[in-house]
A and B are shown apart, each in its own frame.
Chain A
Amino acid sequence: MLNEDAIIIGRLNCDEFAMGSSNENSIYGPVLNPHDLTKVPGGSSGGSAAAVAEGLCLASLGSDTGGSIRQPASFCGVVGLKPSYGRVSRHGLIAYGSSFDQIGPLTNNIEDAAIIMEVIAGQDDYDSTSSNEPVPEYSNSLKSLPKSLHIAVPSEYLNSNAIDNEIKDDFINKIAQLKELGHKVKEVSFPYVDSLIPTYYVLTTAEASSNLARYDGAHYGYRSKNSKDIETTYFKTRSEGFGLEVKRRIMLGTFVLSAGYYDAYYTKALRVRRLIKDKTDELFKAHDLILLPTAPTTAFGLDEIKDPIKMYLQDIFTVHANIAGNPAISIPLGNHTNNMPFGIQLMTNKFEEEKLLACASYMMNELN
């Protein structure tokens, strides 16, 4: 972006090591939602969403491991795109879950997201998982759309108990509008909905426990003043430096990777991940898009959710794209009677960001 003369004006707050759905796990304090200062902006890239929503900057970048771009985009009423796994280099990003993490733009409109993607997507020698798949001119193809889209709506998502009634009604209304515009919307079955968040937590905590082993107090970052020898350097530095949520995830990740439990938890989750990916691939054989809500609720209050598992369930509609490696975008089409915005989410097959952005642009213009 610097090579394209982007002007970088600042760094933004986020949850510590991108672990959180409310931006409350930050040493700098919580970010507040610009639409209502008593509410969270979502997370982990809460600062990135709030800054764009408030007009502090034209666009921002966020990172998305399980919904950390899209859920804050929904809470703050902006566009948030998580690209396909491998589409954007992670060089310079602090790793959380390496087989999930992607960087993507948060913007006011689809065109800005498309322009940024043209610049940041593509192969990079510094990230061996970045794909050499050619990068299309996304911003020039926003109007190229099939006459009739084939849209899949997994009924298990729609019937989820977690979803706010008004968000659900709005979602059903959007489906009706799409049908009226001549698109084919089909309710399909995605039987792994209840396995998504458990799979996500086993695998990302495992990867995090390994990635965060590099915080040893020797090479960078914090070192405890109480470091006396090698063991106290590790123990004191890590125990004083990491926040509670990060410790919780390192502990669970270390447990699922430990001798005796590895197969039962870690390998099991990798098998379920394959089932999820295969089923997702199958859905895209017959459909252009999967349409789903972005988040089950609108922005909640600061300090309102204290139970970690309740917080994890915020990602119920977003982790799917990370587990399967697909691109997904949240667009701000909803307005709740509680005066807070909410998004609707589109997912396409891998490396179909061009189609994803064109569909998102179409829906931004045609749906209300």
Chain B
Amino acid sequence: MKLDESTVERIAQLSKLEFNTEEKVAILNDMNQMLDFIETLQEVDTDNVEPLIHMTEDVNVLRADDAKTTISQEEALTNAPSKDSTYFKIPKVLGKN
């Protein structure tokens, strides 16, 4: 299959990424090439084959339900681009409308 520009725009929207006109052409071309490449999977017969979802063979690994501090508030905020006392600080979310 071939993607068109509108699909790329929709996928970019879902990915929270934006591309200028030039980049859009390039990414459309790259994605179409990659789709051609992964298309070969359709030739593999997978009738009656269940998807492989878990890579470990462990079943029900449980732990005691004890409350513990695994990361302090201060540590959690160490890499925040912006913070205010004990909070992450972000641009205003609510508008006037």
Contacts and interface: CB of A to CB of B under 8 A. Distances in A.
B6 to A, nearest CB: 13
Interface in A24-64: none
B55 A223 contact: no
Interface in A250-290: 250-252, 254-256, 258, 264-265, 267-275, 277
B88 to A, nearest CB: 6
Contacts of A300: none
Interface size class of B (residues with CB under 8 A): 35 or more
A165 interface: no
Interface in B13-46: 14-19, 27, 30-31, 33-35, 37-42, 44, 46
A218 B38 contact: no
A265 B93 contact: no
B65 interface: no
A251 B12 contact: yes
A125 B55 CA distance: 18
B38 A248 contact: no
Given A230-B93, A238-B17, A252-B34, A274 B51 contact: yes
Nearest to B89: A218
B17 A242 contact: yes
B75 to A, nearest CB: 11
Interface string B80-96: 11100000101111010
A132 B31 CA distance: 40
Nearest to A202: B38
B95 A235 contact: no
Contact of B91 (A126, A220, A230, A325): A230
Question: Which one of B33, B34, B37 has the greatest number of beta carbons of chain A within 10 Å?
Answer: B34
A251 B14 CA distance: 9
A128 B27 contact: no
Contacts of A182: none
B72 to A, nearest CB: 15
Nearest to B36: A309
Interface string A218-257: 1111110001111011111011001000011011101110
Contacts of B92: 229
Interface in A293-330: 308-309, 312, 325
B41 A308 contact: no
A220 B79 contact: yes
Contact of B55 (A85, A228, A239): A85
B31 A251 contact: yes
Interface string A102-143: 000000000000000000000001101101100000000000
A201 B40 CA distance: 12
A190 interface: no
A251 B23 CA distance: 13
Nearest to B48: A271
A234 B91 contact: no
Contacts of B67: none
Given A234-B16, A254-B11, A255-B11, A221 B40 contact: no
29 contacts: A86-B55, A86-B56, A99-B55, A129-B55, A129-B56, A197-B37, A198-B38, A199-B41, A209-B15, A217-B81, A227-B90, A229-B92, A229-B95, A230-B90, A239-B19, A242-B17, A251-B27, A254-B11, A255-B7, A256-B38, A258-B11, A258-B14, A264-B42, A268-B41, A269-B41, A270-B53, A271-B51, A312-B37, A325-B55
